[in-house]
Chain A
């Protein structure tokens, strides 16, 4: 079927790619100005300690040092935070995790700044550390902030679980555990802060959510928002990760710039980045399901404890998504879910791709598999039997009145992967050193922010007099392709080719506050705003065309870069001529598109409401080969099916799926940011392992398109859905291969072989400096043999 669109749904070169293949793209560390100072941070010596005294006098006297600052030098708000303001720009009297900043130095060079850091003397009184969230819930645990470490308790209540369990033929009860995960954006954090010409500051850097960071900088420095200009440099990945850690860096660099009157550059090393930045929450998940012998689920009781680390950050929102989605896309009349977030002395945890869904999906999908096993069905059958369809009512009481594509994605993925046949064959395969298995997982996901808060975004479409186009938006591109998506949509509406479009990086002083670029809202929110902005300009261009040609505007259209007569297709003027004419007639060539999402609602006590205005649906199928002698698992094939509403950029959607699966393979098999007693054990890529090109399997994508009226051209979202079910599919495949069910991830060699993780106990890898030299042997692959 020929598409009704010219650009939407096609494969186009990304608007941001040319600069990235030529080296011209400027990432944060690539910005330098004359006379800039280097800013450095002195970080906490203990995960939990009282700061008794800070003596900066020696550091201040070091030649080349321009400023040495501590918490007392922050003129305005000393704390920031999106929900709860309890994260300090610089630790004031207590350090709460090892990434806390205690003092700042600005100096003429990195060398001088680093030397100055060694001259700052801090007297600490170490305090007891709490590193286990379940320990932290106990009344006698050391307290991180105030009276209790429990800072979030979300509930969902539906029906009556007691009567539900009374109807059950059997009950399945399991505890699951997930790990800390590092975002591992390849670009470490960096900013350049310059004193503003009329006061204030201008900060250019690797910032994901510029408007929330700007609010915090303004409050910390007591400057009006119009004098705090945050400019996004080309962002080298974020995945939810360059939010609060950048807010803190912006506040610190901005403060140094104002105090010294000089530009100040700050760059994190990889070690500093991993030490300071927030992670994906580890969850402890207690699932108890009651079911009938036919596979019907009659009760779900769920209790989840999230390790929030030292600060509130996004935990209240992350865990809210968890409580909404904790039952999965499955019918159940009786539900009781409680999700807690708890302070500890670990790295704080916040937004990371998935945002509270990868953890619960691992538990839900493992439970589904166990249920299937118990009633003698296969993983596909049990899901098709229980899953939501149009008109279903979720655990939060929301009626799904859109096209619910779950059965479709399940069945299409299973057909492509030949799931049921392989599942049966692998299950009954005879013992062998290497065994194959296939596993399946599915999910539903609320699109955008939902009832978390206000959800609106703006895009400016500006046509130039030569027919070239500039777009700018408050929705940021971190590499996920938001600019490309918005450009596809604007090009479709304007009837032009993509190569006419130039997209500007976000600048808080030049585009409207569009909220954070999170929750997979780039396409549905930014795209809707781009569509409206382009429609405003298009109407103006058609009016100009009508005046120029005498043909009524209603009979005109723009297609393939030409103004045409709709009825005959006759070309009346080129797009460039039309743009010039529009300018000549004094008509606007600019449009601000503004889009506000449909209404959502939430009743906190009852845990009921219209949580999200629409949902997406996905299914992942993983095929693995497990070495039963070592426990090593290789993913050898992967099918990822997603309902996206409408594809906007084919390469963009597929790219998000490929990348999401790769990150899910890391989550399922490799990645574990270990923290022992508040001390992170891996601070660089020699020990924190993310998938390489040798670890990622071939991936086949299945795109299901059921246009949703809530999105531009029917499009919804893909960024996070692509990442949230790979790990459970892999774990399910390991069960199919070995008969062993893992309840903790990652599925490391030890867990697969022994059923539990091994703790090395001692210092590891690059932290082994204190060992005698002859006992340290570090071997890495060397490619530059010629040296």
Chain B
């Protein structure tokens, strides 16, 4: 009853599918089982462990990544679905050692406590700001409502996203 059917526990052997994808602007040609999740592909095949496993049913949002610029729960996306598409994970946010405005704002506002929800929340926020440079507080709260955080009460996260939006608008002017 407790052991969810995952790629590993599935007894059927399925033929692997070859996919081409871009992860954090690097192209990869990969083999994936038809039932492998994007979360497992990122963590196990590519070693990108910044994407977190929290519930595996799309409720907690810790595994959020961008798929063609849109925030998705990577535990609910099958690896073959990313063929020909672009993925951004938390490891792709900074430019070398230069943090993105969102990352900096999260540091400045102490929006990071335990940090387990942080990668997913950053990517939900990036999706928001990429599509809506001047969100209201309500829009920010809606955008991260799929990212459960048990530590912060969300206050400092909302402040950080608001400030990042401001900074990004200023630098675009």
Chain A positions within 8 Å of B, measured between CB atoms, are 11, 13-14, 16-27, 29-30, 43, 109-111, 114-115, 117, 183-188, 234-239, 269-272, 275, 478-481, 651-652, 654-655, 657-663, 683-686, 690-694, 696, 698-699, 766, 780-781, 783-784, 786-787
Contacts and interface: CB of A to CB of B under 8 A. Distances in A.
Contacts, number: 222
Contact of B141 (A14, A21, A110, A694): A694
Contact of B2 (A109, A271, A478, A783): A271
Given A663-B153, A692-B148, 12 more contacts: A21-B103, A22-B91, A22-B99, A23-B48, A23-B51, A115-B9, A235-B114, A236-B114, A655-B110, A660-B153, A780-B58, A784-B72
Given A237-B150, A663-B150, A686 B113 contact: no
B117 A14 contact: no
Contacts of B122: 21
Interface stretch (B15-23, B154-162, B165-173): B154-162
Contact of A23 (B90, B155, B156): B90
Contact of B70 (A20, A651, A657, A783): A783
B112 interface: yes
B4 A269 contact: yes
Interface residues of B, number: 70
B30 interface: no
Contact of B54 (A186, A239, A786, A787): A186
Interface in B78-113: 81, 89-91, 93-94, 99, 103, 106-110, 112-113
19 contacts: A13-B108, A14-B112, A21-B99, A21-B107, A23-B49, A27-B52, A184-B148, A185-B114, A185-B116, A186-B52, A186-B150, A270-B60, A479-B115, A651-B156, A654-B155, A692-B154, A693-B154, A696-B155, A783-B72
A43 B2 contact: yes
A787 B83 CA distance: 12
Nearest to B144: A693
A19 B99 CA distance: 11
B32 interface: no
A237 B142 contact: no
B153 A662 contact: yes
Contacts of B51: 23
Contact of A239 (B11, B70, B115, B150): B150
A684 B57 contact: yes
A186 B117 contact: yes
B19 to A, nearest CB: 15
Nearest to B2: A271
Contacts of A659: 113, 150-153
A12 B53 CA distance: 30
Interface of B: 2-4, 6, 8-11, 48-60, 62, 67-68, 70-73, 76-77, 81, 89-91, 93-94, 99, 103, 106-110, 112-119, 122, 140-142, 144-158
A271 to B, nearest CB: 5
Contacts of B99: 21-22
Given A23-B50, A25-B115, A234-B115, A184 B150 contact: yes
B93 to A, nearest CB: 7
B71 A783 contact: yes
Given A663-B150, A694-B142, A27 B106 contact: no
Contacts of A114: 3, 8-9
Given A17-B115, A187-B54, A661 B153 contact: yes
User: Interface majority SS on A: helix, strand, loop or mixed?
Assistant: loop
B55 A21 contact: no
A39 to B, nearest CB: 14
Most chain A beta-carbon contacts within 10 A, residue among B4, B99, B113, B154: B113
Contacts of B77: 784, 787
Contacts of B151: 237, 479-480, 655, 659
Nearest to B62: A186
Contact of B152 (A270, A271, A275, A658): A658
B119 A23 contact: yes
Contacts of A18: 107
A785 to B, nearest CB: 8
Contact of A27 (B73, B116, B146): B116
B153 A686 contact: no
A29 to B, nearest CB: 6
8 smallest beta-carbon distances between A and B, as pairs: A23-B50, A479-B114, A20-B115, A236-B116, A658-B153, A662-B153, A651-B110, A685-B59
B107 A699 contact: no
Contacts of A275: 2
B43 to A, nearest CB: 8
B156 A655 contact: yes
B148 A690 contact: yes
A339 to B, nearest CB: 28
A175 B56 CA distance: 40
Contacts of A698: 155
Contacts of A234: 114-115
Nearest to A649: B110
B146 A783 contact: yes
A652 B110 contact: yes
Contacts of B146: 692, 781, 783
B6 A22 contact: no
Nearest to B122: A21
A694 B90 CA distance: 24
A22 B150 contact: no
A784 B158 contact: no
Contacts of B148: 184, 186, 685, 690, 692
Contacts of A30: 49
A186 B60 contact: yes
Contacts of B48: 23
B76 A784 contact: yes
B38 to A, nearest CB: 11
Contacts of A691: 153
Nearest to A640: B153
A110 B40 CA distance: 13
